[in-house]
Amino acid sequence: MSEVTDGKNAMLNQKRLSTGIKGLDEIMAGGFLCGYSYLLRGGPGTGKTTFGLHFLSEAAREKVAALYISFEESEEQIRSTASSLGFDISCVEFLDLSPSSEFFVEAQSYDIFSSAEVEREPITDSIVERVKRINPKRVFIDPITQLRYLSTDRFQFHRQILSFLRFLTEFGATILISSEYSPDAPDYDIQFLVHSVMQLETDGDYRTLSVIKYRSSDFTTGKHSYRLTGKGAVVYPKLNPGEFSRSFENNLLPTGIMEMDMLLKGGIERGTINMISGPSGAGKTTLGMQILCAFAQQGGNSVIFSFDEEIGMMKARCESIGMPVGEMADKGLLQLLKLEPTIYSPDHFALIVRNMVEGGNVSNVMIDSTSGYKLAMKGEKLQDHLHTLCKYLQNMGVTVILVTELTKITGDFVITENGISYLADNVIFLRYLEINGEMKKAIGVLKKRLSDFEKTLREFSITQNGIKIGEPLTNLRGILRGEPDWIRNA
């Protein structure tokens, strides 16, 4: 084996330090490699200081020294921020290099030498003295771009930063650097000097984090959403379904409605993705809840995520037709959660689902509806996120019910208007019918991957005694168009 390969393997096996944020640790394959420098890029208000405080607060848990070098905010302001967010910075020393009020009052000017030449030496001396005295294992520099103004040209700045980083790493420090970049003050030269680059971006209330590079380490690519809360930053790693699996059997699960099981030739297989499609008011949610209640009664913990209807209304509607939703919720077999799509990002929602599946042993999930879920996409593609989430659930042996709403009540038959029908193993559809001047509904199965199914349509209704499915409608044609005609010689 070559020396280069030996060195790379040694780096891959090197000890890692937590970033202080659980989600970021997961994205970076366990955290930061010890003794290297990491660049955190972002515009104003993206949370760079908050990320830095997370990183430094880990020093208290590790019982090692840490150093915060500030070129902009005063120590008093930073300590106030840390206290308000609940960070333990008892092991953190501050080197406050931000301009004091005296700088403005005294109106200092330099006639012979440039300001960079005059101020660089005392700043360098302060950093060297503090590092040698406390020997920090974690260092946060906020922001590194201020050092650019202490250099007379780009070449000198490049050498100065490289020398500075090497000085810190020789003391065994792991370094996190913040950078305020702009078209007028780019930081591409700094990106070449560090071991890893992370980028923070914000679009209104939607914030994303992406790892641009990470030398000699694996990491999760793509944009991951994060939030700034009253307790700091929370990062939601993008879900990779291929990393998860669980052994399970595709045994049939009865739906609790005999005629529905006849349509499905016995029921729904465990671990499948099932779509209930239909126009507004057709009974999609009620049917989905009936199926999920039946699954829960068979011993599988179930959860309904509602992006549309309020939980109280759902419970009241189900109880009014004899569906024991409240009783099952009290027993812990069924959970109903209301989610506001404008608040939750797709990655945040995926993490909630993961925690319930892996921590709460949930085996059945219903999402009501894909239209409400689409509002949480923040401009991203519904197909991408729904594909990722459903495949994760399927790999974990979870049975999924997707409620999909159609905008057209009648007309040409479609399964979904979002191009997601390919995801479904089983497709159940509801249609409105007008027969002899009376509005009725029909139910049918369009697709079933793992077995045969009944090809007829049946009348569907919701009564005070529950869901009723009638005999096959064999004497009608044109049902899929929503314009049925009686077959005269039937």
Q: Any residues with CB less than 8 A from the CB of 168 and at least 6 apart, and which?
A: 37, 131, 139, 175
Q: Beta-carbon neighbour count of residue 204 at 10 Å?
A: 6
Identify the top-confidence range among 324-328, 339-343, 352-356, 381-385: 352-356
Nearest to 342 by CA among 366, 373, 384: 373
Q: Where are the alpha helices (DSSP H) in 268-332?
A: 284-297, 311-320, 325-330
Rounded Cα distance, 152 and 117, in Å:
8
Peptide bond into 472 cis (omega under 30): no
Dig out the tokens for 329 from the structure.
């919720």
Q: What band does 112 get if pLDDT is binned at 50, 70 and 90?
A: very low
Percentage of residues of the chain with pLDDT beyond 90: 55
Q: What is the pLDDT of residue 479?
A: 60
Angle at 72 between CA 68 and CA 73, to 5 degrees: 70
Contacts of 33 (CB under 8 A, 6+ apart): 11, 14, 15, 16, 17, 174, 195, 216, 217
Are 139 and 55 spatial neighbours (Cβ–Cβ below 8 Å)?
A: no
Q: What is the pLDDT of residues 61-71, one digit of tens each?
A: 999 999 999 98
- DSSP assignment of 107-128 equals T---SSS-HHHHHHHHHHHHHH
φ/ψ of 329, rounded to 5, equals -65, -40
* pLDDT, position 266: 94
- 278: which DSSP letter? E
Q: Are strands 232-236 and 302-306 parallel, antiparallel or unpaired?
A: unpaired
What pLDDT score does 10 carry? 45
Nearest by Cα to 159 from 193, 112, 204? 193
pLDDT digits (tens, 9 = 90+) for 133-172: 999 999 999 988 777 766 666 777 778 888 888 999 999 9
CATH numbers and ranges of domains, the chain:
3-238 (3.40.50.300), 243-486 (3.40.50.300)
Adjacent-strand bridge partners of 445: 428
- Which residues, 6+ apart, have CB-to-CB distance to 388 below 8 Å? 238, 239, 240, 241, 350
- The helix/strand/coil state of 33 is strand
